[in-house]
């Protein structure tokens, strides 16, 4: 299994960051969350002048065998159709990426479709979709190892291109089912609280989804280790995202975490390497019912709550300007030492 060497950032710099922020021309604490974010960025980068460069959003896409059980309102072909939408610039994440100057990488992690050579599409396909975890493990151990390694490799490429802040998105019909299974088995949260509407199920659909996932959990014969849970219930796009998050932390990058699915990927990453949490900033609280429960379990607060439930990295990219404002604050505001303003606090 691929190993990561993640260093916990040295928090001794925090007092220096706080002193710098407290001496800016404003009442102490008056910029609230922006001050907290600037400190987080400074600790991650070990700098009193943190900076953001060449932000990337990586979309991993793959299909799920459990979709055959009718756990999603959308048919599986939507996965490969959305790939084309990403590449032609017409999806939700595209306008946000253009607005906030994010570069996109779109990765075929395991889509159940044979793409012709397609400019802009990174072909890292493991298999044409996972197996149906109602009856068997979604992937083999070598497949999981390969997915983690390939996800890490994509982040290494982003880093080599000057990126120091990264978000991850996903596309994969039925991946809220896989995420609910990770949430329940890794966090020990009742499955009922983890299962939501996904892309729009009604009450009957949610009930059917819960029934299928309950049966899958009952059929599970693994050891409940994080690796085995990832292998048994995960998707290739989710495992690649875990590998990507771990490599990003290893490289000292800021990780903007998106919605329900990516928060579950961060949950798995933290379960494997707890210090990865030091590099994570949670972009938004999504509209999937289990997301708030999971954020509360992880003892984190998201920057935004806009009732989003699209995925693709949209919530993370939406939150980016807040982080950018925090960095601009600490770098661009005058201090009381530089300008003749009487301290007014």
Interval 202-223: pLDDT, tens: 999 999 999 999 999 999 999 9
Q: What are the residue ranges spanned by the domains of the chain?
A: 56-322
Q: What does the DSSP 8-state code read for residue 334?
A: P
Average pLDDT of the chain?
96
**Cα gap 21→39, rounded to integer Å:** 9
CATH 3.40.50.10210 fits 56-322, yes or no: yes
Whether pLDDT at 252 is above 90: yes
Catalytic residue among 312, 324, 332, 340: 312
Nearest to 290 by CA among 274, 273, 276, 309: 309
Whether pLDDT at 344 is above 80: no
Cα separation values, 261 from 21, 28, 119, Å: 34, 37, 27
Q: What is the three-class DSSP state of 243?
A: helix
**CB neighbour class for 277 (10 Å; exposed up to 12, middle 13-18, buried from 19):** buried
288 an active-site residue?
no
pLDDT tens per residue across span 295-339: 999 999 999 999 998 999 999 999 999 999 999 999 999 998 877
Whether pLDDT at 199 is above 90: no
Read off the pTM. Answer: 0.96
pLDDT tens per residue across span 221-251: 999 999 999 999 999 999 999 999 999 999 9
């Amino acid at each position: 299994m691929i190993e990561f060497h993640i260093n916990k950032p040295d928090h001794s710099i925090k007092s220096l960051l706080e002193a710098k922020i407290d001496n800016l021309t404003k009442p102490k604490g008056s910029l609230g969350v922006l001050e907290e974010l600037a400190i987080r960025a400074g600790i991650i980068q070990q700098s009193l002048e943190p900076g953001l460069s060449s932000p990337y959003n990586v979309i991993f896409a793959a299909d799920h065998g459990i979709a055959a059980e009718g756990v999603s309102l959308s048919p599986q072909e939507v996965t490969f159709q959305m790939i084309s939408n990403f590449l032609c610039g017409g999806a939700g994440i595209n306008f946000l990426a253009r607005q906030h100057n994010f570069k996109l990488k779109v990765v075929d992690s395991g889509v159940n479709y044979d793409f012709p050579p397609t400019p802009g599409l990174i072909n890292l396909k493991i298999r044409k979709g996972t197996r149906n975890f109602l009856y068997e493990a979604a992937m083999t151990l070598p497949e999981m190892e390969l997915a983690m390694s390939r996800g890490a490799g994509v982040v290494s490429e982003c880093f080599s291109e000057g990126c120091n802040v990264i978000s991850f998105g996903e596309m994969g019909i039925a991946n809220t089912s896989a995420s609910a299974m990770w949430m329940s088995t890794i966090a020990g949260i009742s499955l009922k609280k983890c299962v939501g509407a996904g892309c729009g199920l009604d009450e009957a659909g949610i009930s059917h989804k819960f029934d299928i996932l309950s049966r899958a959990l009952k059929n599970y014969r693994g050891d409940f280790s994080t690796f085995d849970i990832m292998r048994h219930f995960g998707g290739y796009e989710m495992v690649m995202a875990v590998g990507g998050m771990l490599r990003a932390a290893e490289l000292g990058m800021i990780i903007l975490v998106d919605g329900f699915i990516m928060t579950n990927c961060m949950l798995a990453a933290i379960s494997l390497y707890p210090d990865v949490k030091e590099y994570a900033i949670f972009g938004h609280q999504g509209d999937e019912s289990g997301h708030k429960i999971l954020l509360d379990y992880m003892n984190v607060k998201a920057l935004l709550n806009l009732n989003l439930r699209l995925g693709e990295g949209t919530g993370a990219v939406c939150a980016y300007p807040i982080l950018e404002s925090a960095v601009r604050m600490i770098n661009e505001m005058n201090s009381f030492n530089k300008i003749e303003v009487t301290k007014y606090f």
